[in-house]
């Protein structure tokens, strides 16, 4: 059954019977995800220990905005209209880029078009240009609630990532075929960014490095965490965090030393390519 507000798709569960799958992300015209779980990941700012991410959750954004009335669309800043997102299969030259929706009710000074441009480049670098992605810029209170609900950590963090479907992740950086060859399923997932947290970390890092920085025996930070340590512009730092967050959306993680090494190496590669593209 398809309506203007909900699309229901039959899928087989482990017992062989059919169950309804509805993807209704509230950041995508109030479409949310039910009967589907996603594993959240969190990046960390410099000098924090990398967090664990073994929990599973219902659609976080559906819990945040369970009904159309609970998000003030008049205050939401996006590059495109608030229409339902439609991704498409990659590798087909005629398929257009997927949508990039950034929802920003609180921080009008942030240039959304600049952030979308960076996401577009990152998405192209990692090879999923035709897939949709949704992003919410929020505050400490909301991200703390989400972090506690999904990871058992009752504190804010800079960015949380929610892959659309963990089951299609073949290996880090490689997604298998979508469960259904349907436009709704060509979606990388969602990222949630805590802007005040990032602003505080910027001031902490600025003070730290202006007062002499790390001791000689301290290990150098790697990847996004290390690269952004001396970046004191909020928009620029958010753009760098998108590298970390989007790599999580395609299956990278830092649960083990091996996973960490793989992820930070990829982060450094993507950051280099992103910088080159932005300088053109």
Residues 226-278: tens digit of each pLDDT: 999 999 999 999 999 999 999 999 999 998 999 999 999 999 999 999 999 99
Average per-residue pLDDT for the chain: 74
Tell me the angle at which helices 112-126 and 257-278 cross, rounded to the nearest 10 degrees.
120
Q: What pLDDT shows up at residue 259?
A: 94
169 vs 184, residue with greater confidence: 169
CB 79 within 8 A of CB 100: yes
Please report how the helices 195-210 and 234-249 are oriented relative to each other, as an axis angle in degrees rounded to 10: 120
| Residue 51 tokens, joined | 């967090």
CA atoms within a 13 Å half-sphere pointing along the CA-CB vector of 82: 17
pLDDT over 90, % of the chain: 52
Q: What is the pLDDT of residue 58?
A: 29
Alpha-carbon distances of 5 from 24, 74, 197, rounded to whole Å: 8, 19, 34
Average pLDDT over residues 51-75: 35
Percent of the chain, pLDDT > 70?
A: 68
Tens of pLDDT, residue by residue over 53-62, are 222 222 444 4
11-25, pLDDT tens digit by residue? 333 333 322 332 333
Q: Is the per-residue pLDDT at 75 higher than 60?
A: no
Q: Is the pTM of this model over 0.85?
A: no
pLDDT at 44: 36
Q: Is the pLDDT of residue 189 over 90?
A: yes
Instruction: Read off the pLDDT band of 40 (50, 70, 90).
Output: very low
Distance between CA atoms of residues 263 and 249, nearest Å:
12
Lowest mean pLDDT among 34-48, 138-152, 171-185, 211-225: 34-48
136 pairs with which residues across the strands? 103, 192
Q: Give tens-digit pLDDT for 131-158.
A: 999 999 999 999 999 999 888 999 999 9
| Residue entry with tokens 């059919």 | 18
Mean pLDDT to the nearest integer, 94-106: 89
Asked if residue 80 lies in contact with residue 101, where contact means CB atoms within 8 angstroms, the answer is yes
Lowest mean pLDDT segment, chosen from 146-150, 184-188, 216-220: 216-220
Residue 191 Cα distances to 10, 14, 82, 92, 247, angstroms: 27, 29, 17, 26, 11
């Amino acid at each position: 059954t398809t309506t203007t507000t909900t699309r229901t798709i039959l899928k087989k569960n482990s017992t062989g019977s059919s169950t309804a799958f509805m993807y209704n992300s509230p950041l995508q015209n109030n479409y949310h995800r039910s009967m589907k779980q996603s594993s959240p990941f969190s990046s960390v700012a410099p000098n924090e220990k990398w967090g664990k991410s073994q929990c599973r959750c219902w659609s976080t954004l559906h819990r945040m905005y369970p009904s159309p009335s609970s998000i003030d669309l008049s205050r939401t800043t996006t590059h495109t209209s608030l229409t339902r997102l439609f991704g498409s299969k990659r590798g087909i030259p005629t398929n257009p880029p997927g949508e990039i929706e950034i929802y920003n009710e609180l921080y009008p000074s942030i240039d959304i078009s600049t952030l979308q441009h960076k996401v577009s480049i990152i998405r192209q670098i990692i090879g999923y240009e035709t897939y949709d992605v949704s992003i919410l810029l929020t505050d400490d209170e909301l991200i703390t609630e989400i972090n506690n609900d999904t990871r058992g950590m009752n504190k804010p963090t800079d960015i949380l990532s929610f892959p659309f479907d963990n089951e299609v992740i073949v290996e880090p950086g490689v997604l298998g075929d979508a469960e259904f060859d349907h436009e709704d399923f060509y979606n990388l997932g969602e990222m949630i960014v805590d802007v005040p947290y990032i602003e505080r970390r910027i001031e902490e890092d600025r003070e730290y490095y202006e007062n002499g920085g790390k001791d000689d025996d301290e290990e150098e930070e790697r990847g996004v965490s290390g690269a952004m340590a001396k970046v004191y512009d909020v928009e620029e730092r958010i753009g760098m965090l998108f590298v970390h967050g989007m790599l999580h959306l395609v299956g990278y993680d830092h649960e083990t030393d091996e996973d960490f090494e793989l992820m930070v190496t990829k982060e450094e590669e993507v950051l280099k390519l992103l910088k080159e593209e932005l300088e053109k």
